[in-house]
Amino acid sequence: MKLQQSHKALYAAFDVYPSAKGAATHIYHNAQTLFDWKGGGWLSVVGSEKLDDYQQEGAIEITRFSEKIPNYLTRAQTYSQYLYELLETQPSLEICHFRDHWSGVPVLTNRQKSEQDYKTIYEINGLPSIELPFRYPNLSERTLTKMRSLEQFCYQNSDYIITPSAVIKNNLINLGLSPEKITVITNGADVPESFEKPAEAPPTGRYIIYFGALQSWQGFDILLKAMGYLADYEDLKLVICASTKQKRTRFYHKIIEKMGLTDRVIWQYQLPKRELYSWVHFAEFSVAPLKECTRNLEQGCCPLKILESMAIGTPVVASDLPVVREIIQNNQLGKLVRAGRPAELARAMRILLDYPELRQKMSIAGRNHIIDHFTWQQKRQELKDFYESIMV
């Protein structure tokens, strides 16, 4: 694969793009901000069987790494080499913004070897050395040590770091980074104005909603247990809008069947944003039952599902964790409960189910909070201001 143009700006991410995942939303807004500011650029991402390996949109070129390599680490390392070889064809780069160390290592190595002087920004939404053990519990300590070394190489040698959460910033400071090197720019949300009730929504009765990924740290199993305490709400459904393919949810289908909840659950998969927003809008409330674990407490995150639900005007019941408190600072904006306690979660859900006036107050307060502090327009302006401040 060859690039057709010589670019001044690169945004690189070892993620499939576009996709239904929250990461893809973040990539879209950050990459588009960079390319709008620089008048075009190069986007290096991961592809799939449904996406072209190469795409050109005006002054933006998109390259997608699409080798089908089952082993995650081998695939990631091969992507790094692929990106490095493409970087060697780009002598005019002025700024490189990367989202992970798989992209960062080739960007920083190329700068050292080519003696180019482009600016480098490491966007840290998470650290694989913390996150991957939840996905691959058999990873050896030797592998994790090597991964930490690569992460350290990237955050020590990059010029700047941006991150969406103060919790992540504090973790990086504990790892030895200077606070002055780190800028927090949180995730944002669109604020839709109109919604159409989904045809598959329950014709009678009510539903609550969970949307997004189903990794273990999301606490989805806690929500299922909480549903067991709400059996007296005979008309209540749980809608699950999963960002993954149906075949990857079979494990949870079996659990739901064993719990006797099959008739109370409605599944949707990889919905387009507008359709997803309509499902969220007509729900009584959404649930974000994040767990108390290293991924959420030490690494940190900025939960997109919470921002999007509030922006849509749908109240949120969420775990009372520092990363959530960065968004929901008081009980007027959402209902917070101790993490990992299904009975407490069910009690909080009962309160919102039984008091519609409380849901309405939270709906208005939450939406206004997003409009005032967390729109993507605001976040893109913050990122543009950041770019301008470092390129003087």
Nearest to 111 by CA among 125, 122, 124: 122
Per-residue pLDDT tens for 245-286?
999 999 999 999 999 999 999 999 999 999 999 999 999 999
Q: Is residue 194 part of a domain?
A: no
Is residue 129 located within the same domain as residue 228? no
- The CB density around residue 273, as the number of other CB atoms within 10 Å, is 12
Is residue 152 located within the same domain as residue 216? no
Nearest to 110 by CA among 89, 129, 127, 124: 89
Task: Please check whether residue 41 is in contact with residue 9, taking contact to mean a CB–CB distance below 8 angstroms.
Answer: yes
Q: Is residue 200 part of a domain?
A: no
Is residue 184 located within the same domain as residue 240? no
Average pLDDT, the chain: 96
Is residue 354 located within the same domain as residue 382? no
> Longest Cα pair distance anywhere in the chain, in angstroms?
68
Is residue 50 located within the same domain as residue 159? yes
Query: What is the rounded distance in angstroms from the CA atom of residue 71 to the CA atom of residue 50?
Result: 20
Tell me what pLDDT residue 2 has. 82
Is residue 93 located within the same domain as residue 164? yes
Domain containing residue 359:
207-373
Nearest to 209 by CA among 350, 296, 309: 309
Residues 6+ apart with CB under 8 A from 252: 214, 220, 224
Is residue 241 located within the same domain as residue 139? no
Query: What is the rounded distance in angstroms from the CA atom of residue 219 to the CA atom of residue 213?
Result: 10
Per-residue pLDDT tens for 167-192?
999 999 999 999 999 999 999 999 99
Is residue 273 located within the same domain as residue 165? no
Query: What is the rounded distance in angstroms from the CA atom of residue 138 to the CA atom of residue 365?
Result: 44
Nearest to 183 by CA among 127, 121, 96, 128: 121
Which CATH number covers residue 285?
Answer: 3.40.50.2000
**Average pLDDT for consecutive 10-residue bins of the chain (392 residues)?**
91 95 94 98 95 95 96 96 97 97 98 94 94 90 95 97 96 95 98 93 91 94 97 96 93 95 96 96 98 92 97 98 97 97 98 97 98 98 97 80
Is residue 277 located within the same domain as residue 319? yes
Q: Is residue 2 part of a domain?
A: no
Q: Is residue 214 part of a domain?
A: yes
Q: Is residue 3 part of a domain?
A: no
Report the side by side order of strands in the sheet with 335-337: 265-269, 237-242, 207-212, 286-288, 316-319, 335-337
Is residue 135 located within the same domain as residue 255? no
Q: Say which DSSP state 330 is in.
A: S
pTM > 0.85: yes or no:
yes
Q: Is residue 197 part of a domain?
A: no
Q: Is residue 1 part of a domain?
A: no
Is residue 16 located within the same domain as residue 158? yes
Query: What is the rounded distance in angstroms from the CA atom of residue 235 to the CA atom of residue 219?
Result: 24
Tell me what pLDDT residue 280 has. 98
Task: Please check whether residue 14 is in contact with residue 76, taking contact to mean a CB–CB distance below 8 angstroms.
Answer: yes
Tell me what pLDDT residue 267 has. 98
Tell me what pLDDT residue 388 has. 97
Q: How many folded domains does the chain comprise?
A: 2
Is residue 237 located within the same domain as residue 128? no
Query: What is the rounded distance in angstroms from the CA atom of residue 154 to the CA atom of residue 146?
Result: 13
